[in-house]
Structure 1
């Protein structure tokens, strides 16, 4: 059992989401940075899709009522293990043991935004539509974590032994986000894709798990009005009437009515999920 002493600015339970319900208006949701979640689970011997804690900008303090192997991945944070009479510094991207009653303090990351805390056995909260993920758009799944939240841990008897000592440090973010032309790029003036890729944008304070809102050169339209609502995918670069692009993330709506000028490549989705307010962003077609 894990007790949340402090959740930080925003913390949720996430696995790999609930695909297959878009026709019902239910987003896939799941970890915004899926590779980091998968890595955290592999480090403690869990299936890659086991539920873990997703922290936004760190700041969390967790108490383990029963001892457990733990791993922390994603945005790099200073880690401290608080034990009776002493404090132990811990490293990212490697499994470590937290004894019963021990507390893990996750400070704010120096770069990036989202950090993942996995424990061996996974978080055994009740699933909704086959997933334990918190959906910030629809309100499905467990509510965001708060002080006093108790998270049960699943059984470990059938899990394989832990065989990974440490993962290689994650590569730095690329200088640009790679995109493909979107399905509605004809709604924009011919130079709009070049404008998207010509100069830096900056991440807005209004970004969240639904999407990364960007501030920069507006993308001008060639048509008036809005297209009919149509299906949306993670990584879609949707452009509302003000011309400021929005990059959809894990909790994006299944449909949308603003034109999509471009779509991120799948490799750049976890990079976009780690962008924090104020970060510069560049695109390459």
Structure 2
């Protein structure tokens, strides 16, 4: 009898295996990694009765094609897209049964950037440091998907129990609003630049990737002091400002250290999930928060 597995028919532009990542290894130089849109990853697993840590596939822009080598149940969440099974339309955002030999085609993102494909039982590729995530920066975990690769499926658990809120799927942002807690190096920037930060409208740069969301246009933050920092620890959501003055928001595959000053940090949560779905050209604004409240001089408009 064939073990449950999915064969890669079409790998897509950039499809990786992701779970909740491998936090806790920064002291070893290992990034956190994991699904960029954690909410979409969680929802996909919830719809199938998987645990939150079950591995999914994260596609980028143009989806992926898979062939079932044995009967499996799958679901697609994240960026909305056309879903087909052996050429016939199938549901997006709901479990779909694949018979042995059936081909799942996850199409191009209609809005947003990244779709998530989950299978009941999870993708059971070998874990590295406790995670099955592909880390593009360090090279840990399974490689980027290639045609012909076979992805084993883990054992299934109890049938899923879905609540009324199971299909609350946020759409891709038309404007990305990022809450920002200033520090630890906000004092490296001119007060006028910090004030301008709250009023500026940036755009998502096409150079953005799993390492960081780069910005373009907007205001260039001017430093109040010269010199450079010694390398110091970086966290998910840190907003680093390189010499060109345009903020970079660190995402899941970010380096664990860096020498450019961090003007502030975007807290973990829905805002970083939205950043995973913000494509090139999407407007970006920062709104200041301190202790859960809007910081003086910032504006919550549009949030």
**TM-score range normalised by the length of the shorter chain:** over 0.9
1:280 equivalent to 2:278? Answer: no
Q: How many residues align?
A: 279
Q: Which residue of 2 aligns with 1:222?
A: 224
User: Which of 230, 235, 238 is 1:236 aligned to?
Assistant: 238
8 Å CA contact 2:186–2:264 kept in 1: the answer is: yes
Q: CA distance change for structure 1 residues 27 and 175 in 2, over 3 Å: closer, same or farther?
A: closer
Where 1:121 maps in the other structure, the secondary structure is coil
1:197 maps to 198
Unmatched runs of 5 consecutive residues or more in structure 2: 289-303
Q: What displacement does 1:196 show?
A: 2.1
Following TM superposition, the consecutive aligned residue runs of length 4 or more in structure 1 with deviations greater than 6 angstroms are none
2:22 aligns with: 18
Q: Distance in 1 between matches of 2:101 and 2:76?
A: 18
The yes-or-no answer on 1:3 pairing with 2:2 is: no
TM-score, normalised with respect to structure 1: 0.94
**Alignment check: 8 A CA contact 1:58 1:77 kept:** no
> Quick one: distance in 2 between partners of 1:241 and 1:213?
13
User: Residue 161 in 1 paired to residue 149 in 2?
Assistant: no
- CA drift of 1:67 comes to 1.2
Cα distance in 2, alignment partners of residues 221 and 203 from structure 1:
22
CA distance in 1, matches of 2:199, 2:241: 17
Residue 266 of structure 1 aligns to a residue in which SS? coil
Deviation sequence 1:8-35 (CA, Å, 0-9, x none): 1100000101111100100010111111
User: Is the 1:113–1:273 contact (alpha carbons within 8 Å) kept by the matching residues of 2?
Assistant: yes
Provide the C-alpha distance between the structure 2 equivalents of 1:192 and 1:104, rounded to a whole number of angstroms: 49
| Map of 2:260 onto structure 1 | 258
How far did 1:88 drift? 2.5
Shift, 1:175, TM fit:
5.3
Which residue does the alignment assign to 1:74?
78
- Is the Cα contact below 8 Å between 1:95 and 1:165 reproduced in 2? no
Gaps of 5+ in 1: none
Matches of 2:278 and 2:180, distance apart in 1: 16
Offset at residue 148 of structure 1 (A): 1.0
Shift of 1:59: 3.0
What is the Cα deviation at residue 117 of structure 1? 0.3
Rounded to whole Å, the distance in 2 between the matches of 1:31 and 1:16 is 6
Q: CA deviation at 1:242?
A: 0.8
SS of 2:66 mapped into structure 1: strand
Calculate the TM-score normalised by the size of structure 2. 0.88
1:31 corresponds in structure 2 to 35
